[in-house]
Structure 1
Amino acid sequence: MSDPARHTAQTLRSRSEAVASAAPALLADAQHLAATVLLGVHGRKRAGSGDEFWQYRPAQAGDSYRQIDWRRSALSDGHFIRQTEWQAAQAIMIGVDDGASMRFSGHKSRPEKRRRAQTLAMALAIIALRGGERVGLTHLTDAPRGGTAQAMRIATALMEEHADIDHGTPQAQIMPLGSRAVFFSDFFGDIAMVEQALGRAADREVKGALVQILDPDEERFPYDGRTVFESMTGAIRFETLKARGLRDAYLERLTARKTQLQEICRRTGWRYHLHHTDQPAEPTLLWLHRALERVRA
């Protein structure tokens, strides 16, 4: 094996080993977080594969004729499917921004935005999997799956390094019809891409939530005097002698971005939530759990 090939193989091996060692830690943190929410959540009836009748729903494209309840359908102009408890567990698609801006932390006492997003995403996946649902990641081509093994697959995939770009964008190419989805990001990138992703999701009757994760320094802008602002990739660099003079304009743009995200959610039937990395993760996870339950109801 040539030196370049050997170096590439060693690099890939070291990356794989790093991911393999980091995934269990993420999984452990997420399991602890999920447990705090599960303790306060009571089960409720859901459509499933049991024998007990649950509800009728209108037939959709892709449903088999064998599923149609012809007696119920004869009472109206449409076709209806007879559902039983736990039938066809819904899928939850989760997206975590892989942009470099998510690696920011304003203080060593706070986690990186990406780590908080990964932990929340993993905890949400654990809760859904324990509830018998299928879970998938939006940046993968794999179909959403259920079962305990899927938790480790998701943890490993979340820890993998992706393209070194400043801002990631929500991916909505592979969304099962009628599924639910959650995107975790600081949403500092191109807002048009967010609007486009939620538009595509709405076309497939997918609803869910945007969780904007920010470091407190990004809310306060605690900079004064000579300051060098540099993007996490180093692609953008700006130096000023009067940083405080930029504060009002920055905060105005941040407020405008939040308003834009809320408006996009309003138009598409999604929900918006803001989370700060200096705050506990439990309230946000509980909010997500309840929000997705309301979407499904």
Structure 2
Amino acid sequence: MTEPLALRSDAEALAAPLPPLLAEAEHLASTVLLGDHGRRRAGTGDTFWQYRPAQAHDAARAIDWRRSARADVNFVQEKEWQIAQSVILWVDQAAAMGFASDKTLPTKGHRARLLGLATAILLVRGGERVGLTGLRLPPRRGRGQLRRMAELFSQAGAEDYGTPEAQGMLPHSRALFISDFLGDIAPVEAALTRAADKGVGGALLQVLDPQEEAFPFDGRTIFESMTGAMRHETQKARDLRARYLDRLAERKDRLAMLARTTGWQFRTHHTGDSAAAALLWLFGAMEHRC
């Protein structure tokens, strides 16, 4: 009996953080009002959505003559898009994401996981399939898929900075990358280039701690990475501030340009700001089609 009891205890300890994360994500998702149409959009389908004025490229058979007879212009019925879309997520789980400058703030990693999971919940509610990059979790619907995603989000990486994966992105699907994007930018460029080659659009959300934006250091300061692999000591931290802020601004500009070039969207979110506002932007970004 000892071994089964120990196994159960280990399993319960492993599962302990999962329900709170899923519950928190579901609560966050419930704060976002999707409006009357949810994720409806024009496309191939049988369900009527709305009328729109006819355009030059519309065939005569597409015109609703009964509706058009009541106006001075011709109208076309738009149908609701009924093809389920696949959305693939990459949420950075590297050690650097474990940083929080104040105990009142969530870590970057927790905010990233929360937003990623809440976005997935909204997408699943809208009939979409969600999954993770790297072939770890192929896109599917359902609560079981969300729970599995929460489980995988609990696995922290050993490296300082995460590297996005391009594997698992289906042609013409959508993707979402959430990270601080403070590591080597080359893998990010490679992943987005591969995504663009497949017709994949999406969004980059950069999650930063407020201290990483302000750089409020002065005098003797020791800077150390979360794994301890990198360490730098200075006697005049203030002298580094201008250079640091310039490099951070340069990184943001590079990410924004990369997003524009590949048809993605980019935004920076701070852990001290509203998670609901970031989620609303993310959901809108997943709706956007280039």
Give distance in 2, aligned partners of 1:34 and 1:230.
35
Tell me the residue number matched to 2:156: 161
The runs of at least 4 consecutive aligned structure 1 residues that moved more than 6 Å come to 47-50
147-156 or 236-245, which deviates more? 147-156
What are the superposed Cα offsets for residues 168-216 of structure 1, whole Å, 9 maximum, x if unpaired? 0111111011111110000011111110000000011100000000000
Q: How far is the alpha carbon of 1:44 from its aligned partner?
A: 5.1
| Pair 104,41 (structure 1): closer, same or farther in 2 beyond 3 Å | farther
* 1:260 paired residue among 254, 259, 278: 254
| Counterpart-to-counterpart distance in 1, 2:90 and 2:36 | 24
Residue of structure 2 in register with 1:112 after alignment:
107
Query: Distance between the aligned counterparts of 2:34 and 2:48, measured in 1?
Result: 28
* Alignment counterpart, residue 172 of structure 2, candidates 171, 178, 189: 178
Please name the residue that 1:219 is paired with. 213
Q: Which residue of 1 aligns with 2:190?
A: 196
RMSD over aligned Cα atoms: 2.6
Residue type matched to 2:136 in 1? T
Residue identity in the other structure for 1:122: L
1:24 matches 2:4: no
Matched, 1:271 2:265: yes
Shift of the 205–188 alpha-carbon distance from structure 1 to 2, 3 Å rule, reads: same
Distance in 1, Cα, partners of 2:118 & 2:39 = 20
Q: Pick closer, same or farther for the CA change 1:100–1:204 going to 2, 3 Å.
A: same
Given the alignment of the two structures, is residue 91 of structure 1 paired with residue 86 of structure 2, yes or no? yes
CA distance in 2, matches of 1:41, 1:160: 37
Q: CA deviation at 1:133?
A: 0.6
Contact 2:95 2:156 in 1 (8 A): no
1:192 and 1:21, CA in 2 relative to 1: closer, same or farther beyond 3 A?
same
Q: Deviations over 1:60-103 (max 9, x none)?
A: xxxxxxxxxxx99xxxxxxxxxx975543001111111111110
Deviation per residue, 1:77-135 (Å, 9 max, x gap): xxxxxx97554300111111111111000100100000000000010000000111100
Q: Which residue of 1 aligns with 2:38?
A: 43
CA 1:265–1:191: 2 relative to 1, 3 Å: same
Give me the TM-score of the superposition, normalised by structure 2: 0.82
Aligned length: 260
Task: Name the structure 1 match of 2:233.
Answer: 239
- TM-score normalised by structure 1 residue count: 0.81
Letter of the 1:240 counterpart: T
Equivalent position amino acid for 2:193 in 1: G
Structure 1 counterpart SS, 2:110: helix
Q: CA deviation at 1:281?
A: 0.4
Structure-2 separation of matches of 1:238 and 1:286: 38
Give distance in 1, aligned partners of 2:172 and 2:33. 25
Asked if 1 retains the 8 angstrom alpha-carbon contact of 2:93 and 2:155, the reply is no
Flag the 1:124–1:44 CA change in 2: closer, same or farther, 3 A. Answer: closer
Secondary structure of 1:233's partner?
coil
Q: Which one-letter code corresponds to 1:226 in the other structure? A: R
SS of residue matched to 2:17: helix
Deviation readout 1:135-154 (Å, 9 max, x if unpaired) = 00114433200122211111
Counterpart CA distance in 2 for 1:158 and 1:50 is 35
CA deviations on 1:243-289 (whole Å, 9 max, x unpaired) are: 11111111110000000000100110000011000011011111111
Instruction: Tell me: CA distance 1:133–1:195, structure 2 relative to 1, closer, same or farther (3 Å).
Output: same
**Aligned residues of 2:39 and 2:126 also touching (Cα < 8 A):** no
Question: 1:291 maps to what in 2?
Answer: 285
Question: Quick check: 1:134 aligned with 2:132?
Answer: no
Q: How far did residue 155 of structure 1 move?
A: 1.1
1:31 CA displacement: 0.6
C-alpha distance in 2 between matches for 1:170 and 1:44: 27
1:248 maps to amino acid: A
| Structure 2: gaps (5+ residues) | 50-60, 63-77
Cα distance in 1 for residues equivalent to 2:285 and 2:109:
22
5+ residue gaps, structure 1, are 1-5, 55-70, 73-82
Of 145, 166, 178, the match for 1:150: 145
State the one-letter code of the partner of 1:262: A
